[in-house]
Structure 1
Amino acid sequence: MNIKIKFEDKKKRAPKSLKEQFMLDWHKQLGWKRNPFQIIIPKHIDDFIAGYDKDRLKINLFVIKKLNFGTIVGLPGTGKTTILKWMEYELRKYKKIVHARLVDGSKLTGEKQSIKNIIWPLLNIFERYITKPWEVMTAATIVQEVKKRLKPDHKLVLLIDNVKDVSDLALVLIRELFLANINFQLIVSGTKEEIEDSGINQFKPQDHLQIDLSKEMQYKDLHNMIRKRIESVGGKGINPFTEGLMKRICTEADHNPKAVLELAYNCAAEIALENWQKERKAEEERLMELKELEEAAEEEEEKEEKKKISKKKKEKDEYLDLENYEESKGGDAGARARRLEQERKIQDFFDRVKKNLGQE
């Protein structure tokens, strides 16, 4: 029986999964464009934010009602920065009348740095990157500069994240803006203690926002957050997580959004590596099986070749035997023919002798 098996080209490169012994781009193993769980706020946050529905409504009303001061209170990772980022993103849609600026408290320390971040939303492109007028402004002139640039029907909205880092000088400038009787709105974020220690509520004690993120985020909102992030990088739903695993992640993270992202990252990376190892093992087993089949086929081919050689030798031997037999048989017939010819000649001789004697 002649077995023919088509094997992969030996010259073909070994599968990439077997060549690699270490993997960093784990997200590609899951079919994702990048890691969706990075602790960064996506640029188009409108497509990613989940939850905070009541809080976002309060912020919207805060701006509409032209209220001047509000706070967002919460522990690290509860979503303070996310809400501020979302607010800045939404207000950009109304940049013709609303001049919004989100700045970290650490950027409101020195005089020039503080002036730059306060005046920045009121500057045009040429001023921001060419003339840089804040370099010649002072704490004594900043309020007049704001008044000069802010139209009566426009508003300046300053969003300060991590208010604990704001310097005393920056607080003085902010207080002057409140006293200037302009359309100025300020929202700050931090823990309750950080806001109190910053002293910012000493000159504006009435909090018109009072968003408190100390309560744990609901599971459905965390689920939504993970789903949106996964789908943004090419994934589907919450895969590779199951509902059970997703609930365990949220519980272990105490429903803290930042902690949920960190745990989701760890779990997804582990799942990706496990899948990678399984694929490597399956590929190794497949190649081993192919090798065994190839060796068996080669062995079968050798047997078939030996059979062919043996058969040809046998046929050749039989042919030679037949040829020798024919030659042998042909030699006896020739000798007999010669004898018969000789006997015929002798008989002819005697016949002529008898004939001659009879004539005499």
Structure 2
Amino acid sequence: MEIKNINMEENKINDINQENNVEENIEQKVYDEEYNKEEEKTLTKENKIDIDKIDRWYKKQGWRENPFTFNIVPDLFVGYSEQLHAIMKVIKEKHKLSLVLGPTGSGKTMLLKWISQNLPKEYDFIYIGKPPERPEEFVDIFNEKYKRPWPLSIFFNRIKSIYQIYNFLNKKLKKRTLVLLCDEVHEADIEILEWLRVFCDINNMIMILSGLPILEQQLNEKLNTFAKRIITKIELISLTKEETIELIRKRIESVGGQDCKPFTERALEAIYEQTGGFPREVIRVANDFVDDAIEKGLDVIDITVPIKEEKEADLSLNMFADMSPLQEKIIDLLSKKAMTPGEIADTFDLEKYKSRQHAVRSVNNILIRMMQEGIVLRKKKGKAFTYMLAPRVRTIAVKS
């Protein structure tokens, strides 16, 4: 009897605890909901203040929106007139294969998009943003391009196998010309490259492959027979000072602004010096200017670009192992003394470049990336910048 009474008491206690837990959970849930509502109101109010502040600043400038975003808008393509002339000449003359090379952010994708919108009427195009992972994906790409509207699609054959693409396109194109614009080709494996080589034999097809500078080396090493078919190689390096200003102007006017306002000549000069005319960097730094002006309530942007605190490089005796020969040479030169991009370029074999200016731009782009990685530092010297190795990197360079 005593054991039974004890069990009954324990059950009552458990029931009470469960009821208390349920009540506590309900109270906590109500509290959480109320807290979340208050927090949401606070965040919404703060966000609204920020958004209103941004909108007011844009309205003062006559802007509909921020012009300095990384959207790919072919109409805003600026510069590289020599390269554009060369690539359009290749297309007009219907040469089979061309390369567009340049580092990340140099404007390769924008150039391909610009080409796609400025082809003659008798030309078709296909833009492939990234090489397929499997060759069979080419089937979907060409079927999508030449699909028939329903119900006509019932009566026309589609490509079912990658081996049918060659004959399908030879019959399909007839008097029209297809321009295949393939981006990021440096990421393609050997099997994809092999099929691109096969497509080169299709009548009335022109192929323009774009990628990082290493693409040319990859083709020479992995598929030399394909590399030998290249008629034209176009290199995108960086914009001139005038082209950099034109890029900024064009973007501002595209959202309703006037000329380069609110940037002063001094600010434009600073942007060019900071970025070296590298398109993506120009957009990024210009956006930083705008954010800073909004934050400080400035209607005119007339400040020097803030040099952000340089991050320290990851140091080890093997830090130079993955560097290109050109980077290694620059490191070696800077380990002896500080130099300007022009002084470094003058030590190169300039016959390998179209001009000394091209060599200087190439050096400048490398130095900017190395500065972002904390490998080099720089200081102003007249109208140019002098670069030097970061102290800790210099120690490793000497030991290496």
TM-score range (shorter-chain normalised) is 0.5 to 0.7
TM-score by length of 1: 0.62
1:183 paired with 2:211, answer no
Distance 1:129 1:112, change over 3 A: farther
Tell me the percent identity. 23
TM-score by length of 2: 0.56
> How far has the Cα of 1:172 moved from its partner?
2.8
Is the 1:80–1:189 contact (alpha carbons within 8 Å) kept by the matching residues of 2? yes
Distance 1:20 1:105, change over 3 A: closer
Q: 1:159 aligns with which of 181, 184, 193?
A: 181
Task: Give the match for residue 79 of structure 1.
Answer: 107
> How far has the Cα of 1:129 moved from its partner?
9.4
Count of aligned pairs between the two proteins? 251
Distance 1:76 1:262, change over 3 A: same
Q: How does 1:1-360 map to 2 (within 5 A)?
A: 21-23=49-51, 26=54, 28-31=56-59, 32-42=63-73, 45-46=74-75, 48-91=76-119, 94=121, 97-106=122-131, 108-126=132-150, 137-151=160-174, 153-180=175-202, 182-197=203-218, 199=222, 202-214=225-237, 216-275=238-297
Aligned counterparts of 1:19 and 1:179: Cα–Cα separation in 2? 57
Structure 2 unaligned regions, length at least 5: 1-44, 301-400
Aligned counterparts of 1:61 and 1:202: Cα–Cα separation in 2? 24
Aligned AA (2:134): G
Aligned counterparts of 2:290 and 2:194: Cα–Cα separation in 1? 47
Q: Deviations over 1:216-267 (max 9, x none)?
A: 3101111111111111111111111111101111111121010000000110
Q: Deviations over 1:101-124 (max 9, x none)?
A: 111224x22234222224544444
Is the 1:27–1:272 contact (alpha carbons within 8 Å) kept by the matching residues of 2? no
Aligned counterparts of 1:252 and 1:128: Cα–Cα separation in 2? 56
> How far has the Cα of 1:148 moved from its partner?
2.0
Helix, strand or coil at the partner of 2:239: coil
Aligned AA (1:171): L
Is the 1:100–1:158 contact (alpha carbons within 8 Å) kept by the matching residues of 2? yes
Aligned counterparts of 1:127 and 1:56: Cα–Cα separation in 2? 41
Aligned counterparts of 2:148 and 2:47: Cα–Cα separation in 1? 54
Is the 1:163–1:195 contact (alpha carbons within 8 Å) kept by the matching residues of 2? no
Aligned AA (1:34): E
Aligned counterparts of 1:126 and 1:174: Cα–Cα separation in 2? 30
Aligned counterparts of 2:282 and 2:224: Cα–Cα separation in 1? 32
Q: Deviations over 1:142-198 (max 9, x none)?
A: 1111122111x2111111111022243432322222234x11111111122134225
Helix, strand or coil at the partner of 2:268: helix
Aligned AA (2:247): M
Distance 1:174 1:133, change over 3 A: farther
Aligned counterparts of 1:123 and 1:220: Cα–Cα separation in 2? 44
> How far has the Cα of 1:28 moved from its partner?
4.8
Is the 1:51–1:221 contact (alpha carbons within 8 Å) kept by the matching residues of 2? yes
Aligned counterparts of 1:176 and 1:127: Cα–Cα separation in 2? 32
Aligned counterparts of 2:157 and 2:243: Cα–Cα separation in 1? 44
Relative contact order (C-alpha < 8 Å, sep 6+): which is higher?
1
> How far has the Cα of 1:21 moved from its partner?
4.3
Aligned counterparts of 1:34 and 1:183: Cα–Cα separation in 2? 42
Aligned counterparts of 2:156 and 2:52: Cα–Cα separation in 1? 43
Distance 1:51 1:276, change over 3 A: closer
Task: Give the match for residue 362 of structure 2.
Answer: none
Larger Rg: 1
Aligned counterparts of 1:245 and 1:66: Cα–Cα separation in 2? 44
